[in-house]
A and B are shown apart, each in its own frame.
Chain A
Amino acid sequence: MQRTVAAAEFLAASALSQADAVGAFARDGLLSSQEVFTQQLVTGLSNGMIIALIAIGYTMVYGIIELINFAHGDLCMLGAYFALTVVGALGVDHWVGAGGLMGLVMVLVGTAAFCGSLNWSINRLAYRPLRKASKLSLLVSAIGASFILVNLGLFWGGLPMDVFANGTSSAAPKAFPALVSAAPAAQIGDVIYSRTDLLVLCVTLPLMVALTYLVRFTKLGKAMRAVAQNPTGASLMGIDVERVIGATFFIGGSLGGFATVVYSLYNQTVSFQMGYRMGMDAFIAAVLGGIGNLPGAVLGGILIGVIRSMSDGYLEARWTNTVVFGILILILVFRPSGLLGAKLREKV
Chain B
Amino acid sequence: MIRRTASIVAALTGAAFLLAAAPLNHAQDTPSKTLKIVSSLPQTGSANAQTTSIVNGIKMAIEERGAVVDGFKIEFEAMDDASPQKGNWDGQIESANAKRAIADPAVVGYIGTYNSGAAKISMPLLNKAGVVMVSPGNTAAGLTKPGLGEPNEPAVYRPSGKVSYFRVVPADDIQGAVACEFCREDLKAKKVFILHDRELYGKGIADVFKKTAESTGVQVVGFEGIDAKASNYRSLVTKIRAAAPDAVFFGGTTQTNAAQVLKDLRAGGCKVPFVSPDGTFEKAFIEAAGKDSVTKDQGGVYITFGGVPSEMLTGIGAQFVKNYQKKYGEIPEAYAVYGYEAGCVLLDAIDRAETKDRAAIIAAVAATKNFNGALGTWSFDENGDTSIRTMSINTIEDGAFKFVRTAGGAAKAK
Q: Which residues of A contact B (CB under 8 A)?
A: 29-31, 36, 39-40, 43-44, 46-47, 147, 165, 168-178, 182, 184, 190, 192, 194, 196, 263, 266-269, 271, 273-274, 276-278, 281, 308-310, 312-313, 316-318, 320-321
User: Chain A: which residue is nearest B293 at the CB level?
Assistant: A268
Q: Is the CB of A313 within 8 A of B235?
A: yes
Q: Contact at B49–A168, with CB atoms within 8 Å? A: yes
Residues in B neighbouring A277, C-beta threshold 8 A: 229-231
The residue among A31, A44, A175 with the most chain B CB atoms within 10 A of its own CB is A175
Q: Are B239 and A171 in contact (CB under 8 A)?
A: no
What is the chain B residue whose CB lies nearest that of A151? B84
Instruction: List 6 additional A-B contacts (Cβ < 8 Å) besides A173-B257, A267-B231, A268-B263.
Output: A172-B46, A173-B284, A175-B288, A178-B292, A194-B267, A318-B224
Give 21 CB contacts A-B under 8 Å. Answer: A30-B242, A30-B244, A31-B238, A43-B235, A165-B287, A169-B49, A172-B48, A172-B287, A172-B288, A173-B259, A173-B260, A173-B288, A175-B289, A175-B290, A182-B266, A184-B269, A190-B241, A194-B267, A269-B260, A273-B45, A317-B225
Chain A residues within 8 Å of B257, by CB:
173
Given the complex, which residues of B lie within 8 Å of A320, measured CB to CB?
227, 230
Cβ of B221: which chain A residues have Cβ within 8 Å of it? none
Q: Which residue in chain A gives the minimum CB-CB distance to B234?
A: A43
Task: Report whether B235 and A192 are in contact in the complex, using a CB–CB cutoff of 8 Å.
Answer: no
Q: Closest B residue to A163 by CB, please name it.
A: B287
Chain B contacts of A178 at CB under 8 A? Answer: 290, 292
| Separation of A39 and B226 alpha carbons in the complex (Å) | 19
CB pair B254–A313 under 8 Å, yes or no, is no
B residues apposed to A, CB below 8 Å = 45-49, 52, 84, 87, 198, 224-227, 229-236, 238-239, 241-242, 244, 254, 257, 259-260, 263-264, 266-269, 283-284, 287-292, 330, 333
Using CB atoms, name the residue of chain A closest to B333. Answer: A169
Given the known interface contacts A178-B292, A196-B267, A269-B288, the answer about A316 and B224 at a Cβ–Cβ threshold of 8 Å is yes
Return the chain B residue nearest A305 by Cβ: B235
Bound Cα distance from A309 to B48, whole angstroms? 31
The CB with the most chain B CB atoms within 10 A, among A176, A268, A313, is that of A268
CB nearest to B47 among chain A residues: A171
Q: How far is the CB of B206 from chain A (nearest CB, A)?
A: 12
* Nearest B residue (CB) for A280: B229
CB-CB under 8 A from B284, the residues of chain A are: 165, 169, 172-173
In whole angstroms, what is the CA distance A329 to B369 when docked?
A: 59
Q: Are A47 and B232 also in contact (CB < 8 A) when A31-B241, A269-B263 are?
A: yes
B49 touches which one: A30, A147, A172, A273 (CB < 8 A)?
A172
Cα separation A173 to B254 with both chains bound (whole Å): 8
* A residues near B230, Cβ cutoff 8 Å: 277, 308, 320
Specify the chain A residue showing the minimal Cβ separation from B284.
Answer: A172
Query: From B53, which residue of chain A is reached at the shortest CB distance?
Result: A169
Determine the chain A residues whose CB is within 8 A of the CB of B283 once the complex forms.
165, 168-169
Give the distance to chain B from A55, nearest Cβ to Cβ, in Å.
14
Q: How far is the CA of A174 from the CA of B65 in the complex (A)?
A: 37
Q: Chain B residues with Cβ under 8 A from A318's Cβ? A: 198, 224-227
